[in-house]
Amino acid sequence: MCERTQILGVDRDGGFADYVVVPAAVVWRNDRAKLPPEIACLQEPFGNAVFATSTQDLAGRAIAVLGCGPVGLFTIAIARAFGAGRLLASDHVPFRMELAKKLGADAVVNVDEVDDVPAWFVEQNEGVGLGVVFEMSGALRAIQDAFGIVRHGGNVVLFGIPARPATIDIAESLIFKNLTVSAVNGREIWETWYTTRWLLEHGVVDLRPLITAELPLDSYEEAFALLETGEACKIVLRPNGATP
Amino acid sequence: MCERTQILGVDRDGGFADYVVVPAAVVWRNDRAKLPPEIACLQEPFGNAVFATSTQDLAGRAIAVLGCGPVGLFTIAIARAFGAGRLLASDHVPFRMELAKKLGADAVVNVDEVDDVPAWFVEQNEGVGLGVVFEMSGALRAIQDAFGIVRHGGNVVLFGIPARPATIDIAESLIFKNLTVSAVNGREIWETWYTTRWLLEHGVVDLRPLITAELPLDSYEEAFALLETGEACKIVLRPNGATP
Amino acid sequence: MCERTQILGVDRDGGFADYVVVPAAVVWRNDRAKLPPEIACLQEPFGNAVFATSTQDLAGRAIAVLGCGPVGLFTIAIARAFGAGRLLASDHVPFRMELAKKLGADAVVNVDEVDDVPAWFVEQNEGVGLGVVFEMSGALRAIQDAFGIVRHGGNVVLFGIPARPATIDIAESLIFKNLTVSAVNGREIWETWYTTRWLLEHGVVDLRPLITAELPLDSYEEAFALLETGEACKIVLRPNGATP
Amino acid sequence: MCERTQILGVDRDGGFADYVVVPAAVVWRNDRAKLPPEIACLQEPFGNAVFATSTQDLAGRAIAVLGCGPVGLFTIAIARAFGAGRLLASDHVPFRMELAKKLGADAVVNVDEVDDVPAWFVEQNEGVGLGVVFEMSGALRAIQDAFGIVRHGGNVVLFGIPARPATIDIAESLIFKNLTVSAVNGREIWETWYTTRWLLEHGVVDLRPLITAELPLDSYEEAFALLETGEACKIVLRPNGATP
């Protein structure tokens, strides 16, 4: 909530610099015996999903996740672990749609293949709107869809960052539906991190299916090329000849 | 939250019809000894303000109310009664601005007389954004202003119904500020009504300053003319020669 | 919350009477296609566990369940489904302890076999008190233990009904630990029932392991004898020759 | 919530020592222009009341405060400022009972003069139990009373520290009434302090009626003598010849 937040890697040098100075007060120690490095290095983006879901009561509710990039997929895994009722998702990349199902989505729609995306969600949910919609893509079309997918009195979580302003029919889309919209960003220091560690160390959420490749750090160019094919999710790079 | 809500006076005949049939299940009985008719008849719109404020924690927080129509003014009275810290409001009609002060606003800005409305609010609040902003006007400009007035991590309540879609910079206005937006409409049956009755019967909130005239029912044309001058708020009409 | 509640089977005739008159307003319809009778008939006590757990945030937290009777076992199943972190339980009947493990408890202690029950729980939780303790047994000793098992700032849910008043060191056990104690009873009409139906119809919680026998209604004496052995949990009785 | 909390004045030297070393991290700066010293020095115990009330929703609810020592009186002042509906209190010292009325209590009972204290509260509240009961005295009798004063589904806040264990009929007093009990102690760093400062600097709560005398520091013996008469609440001692 700090109005003067500086993000490592955005507002000052981050993981792509040769050397980084990090304030001691923001260093988080991991217990290697409980959290292997290939999982520990996923905590930063996973924490975004932990924070986004922490604003909502998920147990027993019908949940939609729009956008199956890494944080969307993390959200699916958390929602499943926390007792989501029906869990539906959308994307347009078949590789990601398969990962969504593997992580617990009951059904996933390809938004390029249906005309009326909200209607698909409502139909899959026995004709009623969904309780919570997580918008994780930042696509303007998905933001519009979110308000059509959610039920009256439901919750929309906005996480994906759109490139341009959106035009929203506030009367019909929000007020007459009595919606609550939570726009989330970042994490809570340190509440989110305690939950994150707990979920990973105790296996409540298993992130391994999202690691689609592990390579030596020197092969970083190969890693980026893999990501550009759309046939990858998270790639672990191991420095100095480290092995799993 | 009901998706098939029918509103008396909107979806079926209401108070302007000669005769009205009302389902017994939605009749609310008032105790005349505790709640005089001129206050009892204000419960309907006052209930909107009770519901709008019930979604927020007001005690000790800095609060803005945009738009000083009757429901905006009710909101000011409730916020003051519930322990609001600094309480600021806006409108463009001097008569309403005076009522806002009488009901407890610390300061009221005329939006036609300042260039940068959000800057006025922040300045009045010692340089920081406000904790809760109630948008009660439905003006597109006020909806934009609301996101500039609220502090990081604060709450915006959307109640005023805009006539056209709004263009919103979701990234800058909502996500990077970690806002929660509650769009509210109607009331909760019967939770809101119990609170409404309690507040009025026990004098926690005094609505009398909002009754700017009391007339016999036959003088309804005079009442509407008064409202059109902008120099009136709520006018009580007494049927059948009833007297206070 | 009603102060004049009448419970079917307690305050007026219930399931053991030859004929029962039930007010139409409290009849709950089940959809046989989605909820087979042997699960549907477990909804009444299962609803107690749904209500007891609905007062708490379970996801990612360390949870203790004291007492593995049917409602305690239901609570274990719900806590596991809703993302409990470490999930520990206690009882003194080996048959029930086995069921607790089958439903998801990480470890179960026999209270007759350890001297210091709170110490066992804390040790199993890496040396720290547990976030939420559900006291489901009604045993005075377990109520005392609950306040020793919970961490500072944690939650104790009291559901089991003790036969006699308890002596509690309010200063040491409650105030200096900043505890919140929720004493729960019954259900919320109808919120609890909607959640109950959803959890069962969608398989979020599977109650089958708790059905330890299915018999024709005529064999009710055999059923009661089984319960008295302590080697049974819930027994389904089928009337009129009905078959699964 | 810290399990290793050290309280200044309890676990290490406090305000009665000649010299005190205070960790820089726990020093709170006051703005003398906004908060005069005689109010600033009341923040420590006032913060207890702010924290105790922060756990409850007070607006429009019927509230009881048992015990009108300084923190009980602070609680009355806060409840009134935050929109309490009916506000009732108890004590056995007439001087304190008068202060309670001055700070906003609607009625105050002398517990030495009525046989059935809970019955008095319920009668004053039109025959129904109260929504929130703050037990601020630590008297075992008042703790028992608290469970009889609160309505079904209500909240009891335990703050007063009893000298001996209490015997509580958990079945009748807690479980069948669906109560929530919050045992509170200390404050939240720094959330409580921000609220405390805001309430005092902006005059939401006025603590002056509780300052029953102001004396030079040298007259501390006179101050203690005044407290022992029971005819004093808070006494401000001014060091080094300071004047208001």
Q: What is the structure's pLDDT at D36?
A: 93
Q: What is the structure's pLDDT at C103?
A: 95
Q: Give the chain D residue nearest B193 (alpha carbons).
A: D60
Q: Give the chain D residue nearest C157 (alpha carbons).
A: D180
Q: What is the structure's pLDDT at D194?
A: 86
Q: Is the pLDDT of residue B207 over 90?
A: yes
Q: Are strands D166-168 and C166-168 parallel, antiparallel or unpaired?
A: antiparallel
Q: Is B141 on the interface with A (CB under 8 A)?
A: no
Q: What is the structure's pLDDT at B195?
A: 86
Residue A7 or C217, more confident:
C217
Supply A31's token pair: 């217990």
Q: How far does the CA of residue D177 sit from the closest CA of chain C (Å)?
A: 7
C-chain residues near A105 (CB < 8 A): none
Residue D3 or A85, more confident:
A85
The rounded distance, in Å, linking the Cα atoms of B146 and B67 is 11
Q: Is the pLDDT of residue D244 over 80?
A: no
Q: What is the structure's pLDDT at C10?
A: 87
The subunits that touch chain B, with at least 3 C-beta pairs less than 8 Å apart, are A, D
Q: Mean pLDDT, to the nearest integer, of A35-60? A: 93
The rounded distance, in Å, linking the Cα atoms of D215 and D229 is 16
The alpha carbons of chain D give a radius of gyration, in whole angstroms, of: 19
- Tens digits of per-residue pLDDT, D154-163? 999 999 999 9
- Tens digits of per-residue pLDDT, D103-162? 999 999 999 999 999 999 999 998 999 999 999 999 999 999 999 999 999 999 999 999
Q: Who among B83, B85, B86 is closest to D83 (CB)? A: B83
Q: Is D59 on the interface with B (CB under 8 A)?
A: yes
Q: How far does the CA of residue D201 sit from the closest CA of chain B (Å)?
A: 10
* Beta bridge partners of residue B181, listed in sequence order: A181, B156
Q: Is A36 on the interface with B (CB under 8 A)?
A: no
Q: Who among C85, C195, C198 is closest to A204 (CB)? A: C85
Average pLDDT, chain A: 93
Range list of H helices, chain A: 37-40, 43-54, 70-81, 94-102, 117-124, 140-149, 191-201, 220-229
Q: Is the pLDDT of residue A242 over 90?
A: no
* Beta bridge partners of residue C12, listed in sequence order: C8
- Tens digits of per-residue pLDDT, A120-165? 999 999 899 999 999 999 999 999 999 999 999 999 999 999 999 9
Q: What is the structure's pLDDT at A236?
A: 96
Q: In 3D, which of B95, B93, B99, B65 has the Cα closest to residue B79?
A: B65
D7: exposed, middle or buried (C-beta count within 10 Å: 0-12, 13-18, 19+)? exposed
Give the single-character DSSP code of C12: B
Per the CB < 8 Å rule, is D175 touching C183?
Answer: yes
Output the CA torsion sign for A29, A34, A39, A44. negative
Model pTM score:
0.91
Q: Is the pLDDT of residue A7 over 90?
A: no
Q: In 3D, which of A205, A72, A210 has the Cα closest to residue A134?
A: A72
Instruction: Fill in the amino acid letter for A184.
Output: V
pLDDT band at B215 (very low <50, low <70, confident <90, very high): very high
Q: Is B107 on the interface with D (CB under 8 A)?
A: no
Per-residue H/E/C for D42-56: CHHHHHHHHHHHHCC
Question: Length of chain D in residues, anyone?
Answer: 244
Per the CB < 8 Å rule, is B59 touching D60?
Answer: no
Q: Give the chain C residue nearest D159 (alpha carbons).
A: C175
Q: Is the pLDDT of residue B1 over 80?
A: no
Q: How far does the CA of residue A140 sit from the closest CA of chain B (Å)?
A: 10
Q: Give the chain C residue nearest D162 (alpha carbons).
A: C171
Q: Who among C151, C176, C180 is closest to D182 (CB)? A: C180
B-chain residues near A165 (CB < 8 A): 167-170
Supply C197's token pair: 């139906």
C88: Cβ–Cβ under 8 A, 6 or more apart, which residues?
A: C62, C63, C64, C65, C105, C106, C107, C108, C109, C121, C124, C125, C130
Q: What is the structure's pLDDT at C3?
A: 78
C-chain residues near D55 (CB < 8 A): 180
Per the CB < 8 Å rule, is A158 touching B169?
Answer: no
The alpha carbons of chain B give a radius of gyration, in whole angstroms, of: 19
Give the single-character DSSP code of C178: T
Cβ atoms < 10 Å from Cβ of A180: 22
Task: With beta carbons less than 8 A apart as the criterion, state whether D8 and D20 touch.
Answer: yes
Average pLDDT, chain D: 93
- Tens digits of per-residue pLDDT, D60-102? 889 999 999 999 999 999 999 999 989 999 999 999 999 999 9
A32: Cβ–Cβ under 8 A, 6 or more apart, which residues?
A: A40
pLDDT band at A85 (very low <50, low <70, confident <90, very high): confident
Q: What is the structure's pLDDT at A132?
A: 98
Q: Give the chain D residue nearest C51 (alpha carbons).
A: D178
Q: Are strands B130-135 and B107-110 parallel, antiparallel or unpaired?
A: unpaired
Per the CB < 8 Å rule, is D162 touching C184?
Answer: no
Q: Is B230 on the interface with D (CB under 8 A)?
A: no
pLDDT tens string, chain C, 244 residues long: the values are 777 888 888 888 988 898 999 888 888 999 999 999 999 999 999 999 999 999 898 988 899 999 999 999 999 999 999 999 899 999 999 999 999 999 999 999 999 999 999 999 999 998 999 999 999 999 999 999 999 999 999 999 999 999 999 999 999 999 999 999 999 998 888 888 988 988 898 888 999 999 999 999 999 999 999 999 989 999 999 998 887 7
Question: Length of chain C in residues, anyone?
Answer: 244
* Beta bridge partners of residue C2, listed in sequence order: none
Average pLDDT, chain B: 93
A and D touch with 3+ CB pairs <8 Å, answer no
Q: What angle do CA B153, B155, B161 make, to 5 degrees?
A: 145
Q: Give the chain C residue nearest A198 (alpha carbons).
A: C60
The rounded distance, in Å, linking the Cα atoms of D44 and D42 is 6
Q: Is the pLDDT of residue D1 over 80?
A: no
Q: Give the chain C residue nearest D182 (alpha carbons).
A: C180
A190: Cβ–Cβ under 8 A, 6 or more apart, which residues?
A: none
C161: exposed, middle or buried (C-beta count within 10 Å: 0-12, 13-18, 19+)? middle
DSSP string, D129-193: -EEEEEE-S--HHHHHHHHHHEEEEEEEEE-S--SS-EEE-IIIIIGGGT-EEEE--S--TTHHH
Mutate which of C55, C201, C202 to test chain A, going by most A C-beta atoms within 10 A?
C202
Q: Is B152 on the interface with A (CB under 8 A)?
A: yes
Q: What is the structure's pLDDT at C116?
A: 98
A-chain residues near B146 (CB < 8 A): none
Supply B160's token pair: 């005023």
Residue C225, CB-side half-sphere exposure with 13 Å CA sphere: 5
C-chain residues near A198 (CB < 8 A): 60, 85
Q: What angle do CA A14, A15, A16 make, to 5 degrees?
A: 95
Q: Give the chain C residue nearest D157 (alpha carbons).
A: C180
- Tens digits of per-residue pLDDT, B52-99? 999 898 988 899 999 999 999 999 999 999 999 899 999 999 999 999
Q: Mean pLDDT, to the nearest integer, of B143-164? A: 97
Per the CB < 8 Å rule, is A181 touching B159?
Answer: no
Q: What is the structure's pLDDT at C194?
A: 86
Q: Is D168 on the interface with C (CB under 8 A)?
A: yes
Q: Report the percentage of chain B scoring pLDDT > 70.
A: 100
Q: Look at B117-126, C166-175, D18-27, D85-94 and tell me which has the smallest mean pLDDT.
A: D18-27
Q: Give the chain B residue nearest A164 (alpha carbons).
A: B169
Q: Who among B167, B170, B185 is closest to A175 (CB)? A: B185
Q: How far does the CA of residue C129 sit from the closest CA of chain D (Å)?
A: 10
B and C touch with 3+ CB pairs <8 Å, answer no
pLDDT band at B4 (very low <50, low <70, confident <90, very high): confident
The subunits that touch chain C, with at least 3 C-beta pairs less than 8 Å apart, are A, D
Q: Is the pLDDT of residue A244 over 80?
A: no
The alpha carbons of chain C give a radius of gyration, in whole angstroms, of: 19
Per the CB < 8 Å rule, is A165 touching B170?
Answer: yes
D68: Cβ–Cβ under 8 A, 6 or more apart, which residues?
A: D76, D89, D90, D91, D93, D96, D97, D99, D100, D108, D136
Q: Is the pLDDT of residue B242 over 80?
A: yes
ipTM attached to this prediction: 0.93
Task: With beta carbons less than 8 A apart as the criterion, state whether B186 and B51 touch.
Answer: yes
Q: Who among B78, B86, B204 is closest to D85 (CB)? A: B204
Q: Look at A131-140, B103-112, B191-200 and tell me which has the smallest mean pLDDT.
A: B191-200
The rounded distance, in Å, linking the Cα atoms of D212 and D42 is 13
Q: Are strands B130-135 and B180-183 parallel, antiparallel or unpaired?
A: unpaired
Q: How far does the CA of residue B202 sit from the closest CA of chain D (Å)?
A: 7
Q: How far does the CA of residue A179 sit from the closest CA of chain B (Å)?
A: 5
How far from C98 is each of C53, C106, C109, CA to CA, in Å? Answer: 22, 11, 11
The alpha carbons of chain A give a radius of gyration, in whole angstroms, of: 19
Q: What is the structure's pLDDT at B26?
A: 84
